[in-house]
Structure formats: structure tokens, C-alpha cells
Amino acid sequence: MTSANERIKAVRARYGKRLAILGHHYQNDAIIRHTDFQGDSLELARKIGGLEAEHVVFCGVYFMAESAVALARPGQKIHIPHADATCPMADMAPAQRLEDVLTELREQGRLVIPLAYVNSSAEVKAICGLYGGSVCTSANAKVMLDWALQQGDAVLFLPDKHLGNNTANLLNISSSERLQVDIRPGRQVVDPKKAAYARLLLWPGSCVIHHAIKKQHVEEMRKAMPGVRIVVHPECAPAVVRAADSAGSTSHIIRYCAEAKPGAKIAIGTEVNLVLRLAERHKAEGKIIVPLKTMRCTNMAKTTEERLADLLDTLDSATPLSLPADVAEHAQVALTRMLDICS
Ligand code: SF4
């Protein structure tokens, strides 16, 4: 029986430049070896517009492929190997709830600008585009939050409260200027008296993978591995970011490991696939790279080599991902704003 690896190679040879495969850093090596480009959300979003390929297969989670649809050029077909590979954090911000919350906040008389982390649905991004807001990634959250703060009276940052708080810390936004919104149906979103002073309103979402990494893991790692440097993703809680030596996007983490001296010991607080890849990449330089806590994103793991091979075998007849025209249009506005601001 032909292996998934061989099937993928055969399809790639047949399609040539008509096919491009993109993979997020959290994908496992069996997938990454088949990709033309690897990157974080921002890097992959930037790639879409410049790709010649007619078929673009996005190995990641659903919201990433949706963003690719919004940024694709006419005639380009975006595919995802596993449509159930969703992001639980993105699911914590349903579009209808966002509209309700924004309406209630604006009825209180303040111009609230929505800023969504890219880990959100296309509908949520479209609402951000419509309401004068935009989106951000962990790599540009500081620039984008700074921009959004200048567009209105306050910013509603969603869905990741940890990224919102960590970014607010970088911008010296005091805790008295921040307020977490209550998104439970039937509840008042915020107390209007408190909201009058808030510059940053935070949606109460978080990534289950990064939220599980605690300050205690940083402390235990320092005891177990004297001299270790600790770098974490800003989806971790602020207490973890404060206890670490460095924090930043997956690209930052990759650079951190590359720039470390030979023999360095590094513990990383993010999804384990990236950590293991970096450990392997820098083994020959004597760098010891370990996970701060082993956390695997089961949704990222839904894209297996077999799934990818099955999709590629039927690529011509596969239904590409699509978005309602108005959602695609307004999501594109939000995404393009980010790409222009961060160009
Ligand atoms: S690692 Fe977290 S944010 Fe990324 S896809 Fe998985 S659940 Fe979503």
C-alpha cells in the first residue's frame, strides 16, 4: 500500500506550482516536511496575496484558513485538510455575542473600537472591520493596540484576555484603566460607571494550552535546570510572562533559540511541536531545549499526513473553503488594515 508520504509527493509532482502548502509552526514534523512555507499567523497571512498557486492548502486551524480565504486573490482556492480543526479560544467569542456586547457598550455613549486577535472567526473579524477596528497577531499586538487606542474612547480586545493584559503591560496601561467584560447572556456587560474610566475592555477568553502553563512551572524549571533561560508565548498568563526571561510570538521564540549561545539551556512555554522541532534543530550546537510544560494542541494535531494525502488525492473535486461575500469583504478590511499598519 502506498504511504501517505508517497501519495503527497506524487500529487505535489503532478500539480507543481499550481499547489502551495502552508503550515503553522504548531503542526507536527510529518506535516511540516511537506510545506512550502511555515510561519506564525502573521507570516502566513502575508504570504497569501503573493502566491501564484491556484490551490492553497492551509495546515493549521480553521480560523487561519478563513483568513486566507479573505486575503486570497480571485480564483484562488483555499483548502483545509480537517474542517473540524477549530481553535477553542476562537470559539469563545461568538460573532453574535460580540455584536450584542459592542452595541451595549456603544449605547453607553463611548466610541469602542474592537480589536480581535487573529485567533477569531471570520465573522468576528468582519465585525471588527465594520466597526472601525482591526485584528492583530501576537507578533504585532503592541503596535495594533496602540493604533486602536487612538481610534476611539476605548478598545474592546478579544478573545484572549492574557494577550490583552500582557500587551497592556507593554504599553503601560494601568490596571485601573482595564476592565473585563461579562459576556454571559442576560448580564450587564460592564458597569457604566467603571467603564467610563476604562481604556481597555477585555473579553474573558484564553487558550487552553497556554493557560495551563503556570508560574509554578517556571519556578520548578529554574530549580531543576540551573542556568536555564525561559521564553514563553504571550498567550500565557501575565504572572508567567513576568516570571519568564522573555516573551513573544512563535517567531520571537524561534529567533530566541537561534540567537542563544552554543550550550544554552532554554525552556519554552508554548505548544510542544514547535519546542521539539527547535530542540532537534539546535541539538548539534549543544543547546538543550525543553518544554516548560508539555502541552499539545489537539486541534492542530487533527491535521495528519493521512488527512493531507486524502485531501490532495481529491483536490480537483474538493470544495474549497468559502465565506459569505459580506463576511469576506469586511474581514478583508480588518486584515488589510493590520497588514498596512504593520507593513
Ligand atoms: S494552541 Fe491555543 S490558540 Fe492555538 S489553535 Fe490551539 S487552542 Fe487555539
Q: Which of 253, 271, 273, 295 has most ligand 1 atoms within 8 Å of CB, for mutation?
A: 271
Are the C-beta atoms of residues 77 and 320 closer than 8 Å to each other? yes
pLDDT for residue 228: 98
Residue among 262, 253, 305 nearest 283 (CA): 262
pLDDT for residue 193: 85
How much distance in Å is there from the Cα of 313 to the middle of ligand 1?
28
How much distance in Å is there from the Cα of 299 to the middle of ligand 1?
7
Residue 80 exposed, middle or buried by CB count within 10 Å (0-12, 13-18, 19+): buried
Instruction: Please check whether residues 197 and 278 belong to one and the same domain.
Output: no
Instruction: Please check whether residues 124 and 193 belong to one and the same domain.
Output: yes
Q: Do the domain assignments include residue 342?
A: no
Instruction: Please check whether residues 188 and 101 belong to one and the same domain.
Output: yes
Q: What angle, 0 to 180 degrees and rounded to 10, lies between the N-to-C axes of helices 62-71 and 41-48?
A: 30
Q: Which of 208, 209, 249 has most ligand 1 atoms within 8 Å of CB, for mutation?
A: 209
Are the C-beta atoms of residues 251 and 139 closer than 8 Å to each other? yes
How much distance in Å is there from the Cα of 295 to the middle of ligand 1?
10
Mean local confidence (pLDDT), 125-147: 96
User: Cα separation of 275 and 254, whole Å?
Assistant: 9
pLDDT digits 0-9 by tens, 32-47: 999 999 998 778 878 8
Domain boundary among 206, 232, 256: 206
pLDDT for residue 201: 97
pLDDT for residue 274: 93
Are the C-beta atoms of residues 151 and 110 closer than 8 Å to each other? no
Instruction: Please check whether residues 79 and 122 belong to one and the same domain.
Output: no
Sheet of 229-232, strands arranged across: 246-247, 229-232, 265-269, 288-291
- CB burial readout 219-248, b (16+ within 10 A) else e: eebbeeeeebbbbbbbbbbbebbebbeebb
Instruction: Please check whether residues 104 and 184 belong to one and the same domain.
Output: yes
How much distance in Å is there from the Cα of 268 to the middle of ligand 1?
16
The grid cell for 319 is 470544495
How much distance in Å is there from the Cα of 300 to the middle of ligand 1?
7
Q: Which of 89, 91, 138, 272 has most ligand 1 atoms within 8 Å of CB, for mutation?
A: 89
- Give the global pTM: 0.94
Instruction: Please check whether residues 256 and 284 belong to one and the same domain.
Output: yes
Instruction: Please check whether residues 171 and 231 belong to one and the same domain.
Output: no
Q: Do the domain assignments include residue 337?
A: no
Instruction: Please check whether residues 282 and 310 belong to one and the same domain.
Output: no
CB half-sphere exposure, 187, CA atoms < 13 A: 9
pLDDT for residue 44: 87
Q: Which of 211, 273, 297, 303 has most ligand 1 atoms within 8 Å of CB, for mutation?
A: 297
Mean local confidence (pLDDT), 318-327: 96
pLDDT digits 0-9 by tens, 52-93: 999 999 999 999 999 999 989 889 999 999 999 999 999 999
In angstroms, the Cα distances linking 8 to 12, 13, 307, 331 are 6, 9, 10, 32
Domain residues for the domain of 132 are 90-206
Q: What is the CATH number of the domain that holds 39?
A: 3.40.50.10800
Q: Do the domain assignments include residue 15?
A: yes
Percent of the chain scored above 70 by pLDDT? 100
By mean pLDDT, which of 5-19, 187-201, 228-242, 298-312 is the weakest? 187-201
pLDDT for residue 164: 98
Ligand 1 atom 5 nearest Cα: 87
pLDDT for residue 191: 87
How far does Cα 310 stand from its chain's mean position?
26
Mean local confidence (pLDDT), 306-314: 97
Q: Do the domain assignments include residue 329?
A: no
pLDDT digits 0-9 by tens, 150-183: 999 999 999 999 999 999 999 999 999 999 999 9
Residue among 340, 343, 338 nearest 141 (CA): 338
Instruction: Please check whether residues 134 and 167 belong to one and the same domain.
Output: yes
Ligand 1 atom 8 nearest Cα: 87
In a 3-state reduction of DSSP, which class is residue 57?
Answer: strand
Instruction: Please check whether residues 152 and 107 belong to one and the same domain.
Output: yes
pLDDT digits 0-9 by tens, 277-308: 999 999 999 999 999 999 999 999 999 999 99
Instruction: Please check whether residues 159 and 55 belong to one and the same domain.
Output: no
Ligand 1 interacting residues, C-beta cut-off 6 A: 26, 61, 87-89, 119, 207-209, 271, 297, 299-300
Q: Do the domain assignments include residue 336?
A: no
Q: Do the domain assignments include residue 341?
A: no
pLDDT for residue 159: 98
Q: Has residue 258 got a pLDDT over 80?
A: yes
Task: Give 99's pLDDT tier (boundaries 50, 70, 90).
Answer: very high
Place of cell 454571559: 184
Q: Do the domain assignments include residue 96?
A: yes
Between 193 and 163, name the one with better pLDDT.
Answer: 163
Q: Do the domain assignments include residue 338?
A: no
Residue among 193, 148, 110, 177 nearest 334 (CA): 148
Ligand 1 atom 2 nearest Cα: 207
Instruction: Please check whether residues 11 and 58 belong to one and the same domain.
Output: yes
pLDDT for residue 186: 86
User: Cα separation of 256 and 261, whole Å?
Assistant: 10
How many folded domains does the chain comprise?
3
Average pLDDT, the chain: 95
Pairing status of strand 19-24 against strand 55-59 = parallel
- Dihedral, CA atoms, 62, 67, 73, 74, nearest 10 degrees? 60
